[in-house]
Every structure is written in structure tokens, then in C-alpha cells.
Amino acid sequence: MLQINDLHASVDDKSILRGINLEVKAGEVHAIMGPNGSGKSTLASVIAGKEEYEVEKGQIVLNGEDLEDLAAEERAHKGIFLSFQYPVEIPGVSVTNFIKTAINETRKAKGLEDMPAKDMLKLIREKSELLEIDRKFLSRSLNEGFSGGEKKRNEIFQMAMLEPKLAILDETDSGLDIDALRIVANGVNKLKSKDNAVVVITHYQRLLDYIVPDFVHVLLDGRIVKSGGKELAHELEEKGYDWIKEEVNA
Amino acid sequence: MSKYTEDDLREELKTKEYEYGFYTDIESETFPIGLNEDIVRAISKKKEEPEWMTAWRLEAFRVWESMEEPDWANVNYTKPDFQAIAYYSAPKSIDPNKTLDDVDPDLLAMYKKLGISVDEQKKMNNIAMDIVVDSVSVATTFKKTLAEKGIIFMPISEAIQEHPELVKKYIGTVVPTKDNFYAALNSAVFSDGSFCYIPKGVKCPMELSTYFRINQAGTGQFERTLVIADEGSYVSYLEGCTAPSRDENQLHAAVVELIALDDAEIKYSTVQNWFPGNAEGKGGVYNFVTKRGLCEKNAKISWTQVETGSAVTWKYPSCVLKGDNSVGEFYSIAVTNNYQQADTGTKMIHLGKNTKSTIISKGISAGKSQNSYRGLVQVSSRAENARNFSQCDSLLMGNECGAHTFPYIEANNKSAMIEHEATTSKIGEDQIFYCNQRGIDTEKAIALIVNGFSKDVLNKLPMEFAVEAQKLLEISLEGSVG
């Protein structure tokens, strides 16, 4: 599904990613962990195609296609979804209107007609039930005045609507209380299938109790320095990151 | 690797031309340039006006001569040379006794280009329409249907002939000839415009609409609109404007007067899309307009405007809340891009008791443009329990434009309650990226954000107009995020 080879990226001439290698296959869940400033969010943004980041070297390949020349929206059309750590507010644009636009723009890119209103309605009903989202919530302005939990739930709702091939969840657990965390994680688990893949970026092990990863990678100073199974996450939770730093520097 | 960047996009879109910038070659009759008493008399004579009208115009002209062009607005431009403008231009092939079928085929072709084929309008929409090209009204549809209800909707030049008592009674009562420089000029030289009278207790069954277009080079357009809603009546009135692209600046100085008698309601909506000048700031229309409405007891006037055009806009649709319990509303979206300058807002003059006013202003600035809101809320000493709520929001795109707010409040009665809220925000790269990530390209993302920002005002427009206004916002702002 996703293949990252020797990826180097910088922002404002500051080098952040320094040789990332990662392979994610369909049906897998990968967790990327690491201390603050290790490059986790940068990796997510670079995969999604944020313009401020300059890819200096290496490739990102999705289902055999090099993404280098594709703009962010084209990558989205190919099935990449990023759940933002800090979702932005768009006043006056309802959740429904926004997701409708996103779905129809994606369909347009694929040469399809707009989704018929009744299908859209059915899909919205289905997915909002799945994520225990109140109907009134859908008419509110996108992320405006949303609590931390509502913002994240809205991200996962959009993910459910867009049915991406590769979902990257950037610090989805931050700002969530335990109930919200459970709902969000349940949602992600229900959306998981053998045809899609999930990359969970997180600081803490907490979320991984709910979304259980097949692989855990540790990111340090722009490189993946250690990979392992889900037990690695527990080890990190117990011992912190220092022992890995020592191991790397040894 | 060649990435399609923001700059590429902007560059490509710069070449997009003003959509309505065509010029139709219709034979027209234009007066010699310049302005003096003889020209004023000649205009009046051309219109076969009664003597009182000629005298009224001449008085206005004399007042105008003694006045100075105002310069307090937050706009910079080379003042027009008023002696270098032709004050009358009429498409020649118009028969005064015209019906729609006799209209010049070139003119009809022009309406088609504008997307307002009169025929179609007539059939499909429940909208009665008066179209003013340059200075003369060329077609008024639905006249008969309206006449059955006693509604008068016709070019003001005809109303002066057919309903002199109404025109004489009301013209200049809300905007006096000496009100301001441009109003005085308009009073002296206006050549046409629309007139509308709704009789007592009648709810006008359709939207009334006027469409203005400047076609001829070197002419000014000075239309005059007078709407009278008699006691207990209701009317919704729409006004649209376009002009061809030209290098030189064209002058547009209109006057609109609304009179809402006891218990009457007037909704007046404008979509203004005069040529804004090119990307370098050359050409464009100077839009210096005076619009004001008078509310008697329990009456209500709502102004809704979507302003995307003109090089310079100077416009303050206002309400004089004379009668007790009367209501004034002003909903505005003003968009400026490239080198456009807009100084627009409203005046709410509270004279009666329990009068209420609401002001919602949304300013959107892009490019190197300057966008100012200027508003006055005035409460007289007699106006017990006056209420006002004002909200002025500005949205900025890029780093080279400006947004300004000049609210003036004069409260002379202690019971007045006046609220003012203002916000300024910027379309951020983060917002754009968020939309991009969901598969929405940058152009569509801007449209989405701007429509969201303008929603409170767009909702106030009649349905057909709201769709057109949304499209217009998109066209005006294409490629303007930096």
C-alpha cells in the first residue's frame, strides 16, 4: 500500500526528516511513536502533501504510484486521509456542507457525478450512528466552538464518510477524555478492513490499548530507529525514550 | 519536478477576464460632452418633461455648481473631469412606443450574453424586469400583470409623464437635491431609472427587478430609482449592474429613494458588478451612489447588497426611521480585489420611538485592495427605546490588502441600546491545506470559506439572486490567496 524510501524533508531550510523507510501493507495498523520534535507530525504532513515542506530526497509511493508530483487534493483523491492534530475552524460552513463538498470534489476528480442527495443522506445517517454523533452536531459550523473531543470525533466521521485507503491519525488521542477516546477508537476499529491501512501517530501508549497496532516504530531525530510489535509500545510507556536514545548513540 | 504552486495558480488566473466585459455595437445617440444649463435643459427636453421637472433639475444643477466633491472617504482616485463626460447616451433604435418584440436584435443578443434573456425572464422567472442600458430604459416586462393589482412599475421617465402627481410628491423627499455632491449631480442630469408604486395593502406577487448596464464609452450613468410602498403594502426589489471593460474610468452616480408608508415593507437587494478595473488597477467604474429609505409608522426597510465590482465604491444605503416602531436593516457583502477601493456602509437614523435597526457587514479584501466599512447609528432625543445591533466582520486574503472599520455612534437619548461587534480574520494556509487534504482544491476551498463567511448576508437574498451572488463571489476572488 504505502512505501516510503529514504525520505528526507525540510521546512524553512531546517532539515526534519532524515531518511525515513517504512512499508505499510493493506490490512495493517502501524503506530509511530516518539518524543516531541522527533518529526512525527512532519511525516504526516509530508505524506499528505503540505506545500511548506520540501522533499529533498527519497520517495513516497502509494499503490505503486510515486506521489511526488501530486498536490495535496490529488493525494486525497487517491485515498490518503489525514486526521489532524489541530483541526481548523471554518465559520459558516456546516459539517454536512463540508463533507458533501469533499465527497463530491473527490467524485468529480474521478469523473463521477455528484452523489445523489438521498444516498448522501443515507451515508451520513449510517456513519453518524456508527460514531454516536448527534444529528444537531452536523449542522454546526465546522470545528467552530467544538470541544477537543468533538473535533476529533468529527475527524473520524469525515474519515468514515470518505473511506480512505490509508488513514493517518495524527495525535488523535490528545485532548480526549476516556469516553471520547473509546468512541473514536471504536470508530476506527469498525472502519478497519483488509483493504485499508491505518497509521497512528501518538505520543502515548494509551490510544494503542484501543487501536491495537501490528507494528510500532520509534521516530527519533527524523529517523525510525527501532521497530517492533505492540509490546514495544508498552516498553516505551514504562521506560520513556531515553534508553532508545542511548541505544542509538551507543 | 514542476509543482503547481500557489503562484502558478495566481498567475494563471490573472489572465481571467472580467466576464461581462464585452461591448455591444449599437447605434446610439450621445450628447456632446460637458455640463451646463443648456445640457440639463436638453436632457429634460429630450424626455419631454413637464416644466416643473425642468425647473427641479436646473435648481439641482445650480446647487451642484456651488458644491465640492467630498473627500472624507477612505479612497484615493483621480477626480473625474465632469466636463469631459457625456451626460446622455441612448441606444438609437428605440421607439418610445416599443414593446418587447420591437427591441433591437443586437440589444437582445446583449441580454443573452448577460444571461438575462428578456424572453426567458418573462417565461421562467416570476420577476418583472426593467433594463437600463446606458441611460435609457429599454424594456419593462410584466407591466400588464402588475397593472391588474394597481402596481406601477415603469421607467421613471414614463412615470413623470403618466403619474406626475406621485413623482412630484415624492422625488427628492428622502434624498434632497442638495444632499450631497453626487446626489445634486444626479438630480440635474438623470436620464432614466425605475419607478415603482405599490398601492395600499397590496403585496407585490413577484420580485421587481432593474438591470443596469453602461455600454457607451465616455458616458456617465445617472439613474434614478423611486420606490413607494403605500400603507400596509410589501415589495421586494432587485437591482443588478454590469459594465464593459474599458481603460478609462466611467462614472456612475445613482440615487435611490425608498418610501415605506405606515405598516409597509420594502426589501431592496443589489448585486453590483460594475467593471472593477484590470489587474493593474486601470479603468473601472467610479460608483458614487446615494441610497436612502424613509420608514413611517411600523414600516420596515431592508437593504441587502453584494458589492463585487467598481474601481471605487462610495455608497451608504441608509434608513431614516421616522415612524414609531419602524425597523431598518442593512446586510452587506463587499468584496475588493486587485486595486479596488470600497468605502461603504450605512446610516441608521432613529427618530421615532421603539425603532430598531440591524447592521451586518461582511468585508472581504484581497490583492492590493482597500475595504472600509463606515456606519453611523444616530439616536435622536425623541427616540425612546431605540435599539441597534451592528456586526462588522472583515476577512483578509494575503498581506497587501487592507480592511478598515469606521463606526460612528451618536446617542442623544438615554434609553438607547446600541451594540457593536467587529472581527477581523484571515484565510489561513492551514484552512486551505485542511480543505486540500479532504480533496477540495484551493479555488473551491476559497469559495467555501468565503461563502461560509458571507452566509448571514447571502441568506437574506432572494433565492435566484443568492445563487448568482455566490458565483460572483467566486469569480471575484479567484486566485487571490497569498
Tens place of pLDDT per residue across chain B (482 aa): 344 444 544 444 343 344 554 455 555 667 777 788 888 998 898 889 999 999 999 999 999 999 988 888 888 888 888 888 878 776 555 444 444 555 556 655 655 555 554 554 444 344 556 666 555 555 566 677 788 899 998 889 889 999 999 999 999 999 999 999 999 999 999 978 889 999 999 999 888 877 766 555 556 778 899 999 999 999 998 887 665 555 566 788 899 999 999 999 999 998 888 777 877 878 788 889 999 999 999 999 999 998 888 888 989 999 999 999 999 999 999 988 888 899 999 999 999 999 999 999 999 998 899 999 999 999 999 999 999 999 999 999 888 899 999 999 999 999 999 999 999 988 888 999 999 999 999 989 988 999 899 988 988 887 767 777 777 777 777 666 54
Put simply, the answer to whether B439 touches A105 (Cβ < 8 Å) is yes
Nearest residue to B86 (alpha-carbon basis) of B211, B235, B248, B212: B248
Per-residue model confidence (pLDDT) at position B96: 43
Judged by phi (left if over 0) then psi (alpha if -120 to 50, else beta), residue B283 lies in left
Q: Among all chains, which residue has been given the C-alpha cell 466611467?
A: B250
Q: How much is the pTM?
A: 0.81
Q: Which three cell numbers stand for residue A212?
A: 491495537
DSSP B293-328: EEE-TT-EEEEEEEE---SEEEE--EEEE-STT-EE
Q: Kindly state the helix (H) or strand (E) to which residue B146 belongs, with its residue range.
A: helix B143-147
Please tell me what DSSP assigns to residue A138: G
Nearest-by-Cβ selection for A87 from B434, B454, B455 = B434
Q: How far apart are CA B61 and CA B265, in angstroms?
A: 33
Half-sphere exposure (CA, 13 Å, Cβ side) for A245? 9
Q: What is the predicted pLDDT for the residue at B113?
A: 56
Interfacial residues of A (vs B; Cβ cutoff 8 Å) = 48-52, 68-69, 71-73, 76-77, 81-82, 84, 87-88, 90-93, 97-99, 101-103, 105-106, 109, 141-142, 158, 162
Closest by CA position to B307, among listed B245, B241, B208: B241
| pLDDT for the residue numbered B95 | 43
**What is the spatial distance between Cα B50 and Cα B165, in angstroms, rounded to a whole number?**
12
Report in angstroms the alpha-carbon separations of B39 from B87, B135, B224: 8, 15, 18
| Contact predicate B94/B138, CB 8 Å | yes
Integer Cα distance of B54 and B66 in angstroms: 19
Neighbours of A13 (CB within 10 A): 6
Does B449 sit within 8 Å of A93, measured CB to CB? Answer: yes
Using CA coordinates, name the residue in chain B closest to A78.
B439
From chain B, the residues in CB contact with A87 under 8 A are 434
How far apart CA B364 and CA B307 sit, in angstroms, is 10
> What are phi and psi for residue A32, nearest 5 degrees?
-115, 120
**Per-residue pLDDT at A17:** 95
What is the CATH code of the structural domain delimited by A2-249? 3.40.50.300
> Measured between alpha carbons, how far is B194 from B209 in angstroms, rounded to an integer?
9
Burial of residue A60 (CB within 10 Å: 0-12, 13-18, 19+) is buried
Which residue in this structure is represented by grid cell 517492533?
A: A228
Q: What one-character DSSP code corresponds to residue B210?
A: E
End-to-end Cα spacing for chain A: 34
Residue B122: per-residue pLDDT: 46
Task: ipTM value, please give it.
Answer: 0.96
Residue A63 above 80 pLDDT?
A: yes
Q: Would you call B452 and A68 a contact, using CB atoms and an 8 Å cutoff?
A: no
Domain residue extents for chain A: 2-249
Q: Which amino acid is at B58?
A: L
For residue B68, the Cα-to-chain-centroid distance in whole angstroms is: 23
Selecting from A69, A76, A82 the residue whose C-beta is nearest the C-beta of B1 gives A69
**Chain A residues near residue B3 by CB distance under 8 angstroms:** 51, 69, 71
- How far apart CA B294 and CA B258 sit, in angstroms, is 6
**Which residue of chain B comes nearest to A85, CA vs CA?**
B434
Q: Give residue B25's pLDDT.
A: 53
Residue pair B419/B389 in contact (Cβ under 8 Å)? The answer is: yes
**A247 falls in which pLDDT band (50, 70, 90)?**
confident
Segments in B395-479 forming alpha helices (H): 429-437, 442-458, 463-477
In B, minimum Cα distance to A141 occurs at B452
Closest CA to B210 of B130, B267, B312: B130
**Euclidean distance between CA atoms B1 and A183, whole angstroms:** 43
Give CA B266 to chain center in angstroms.
15
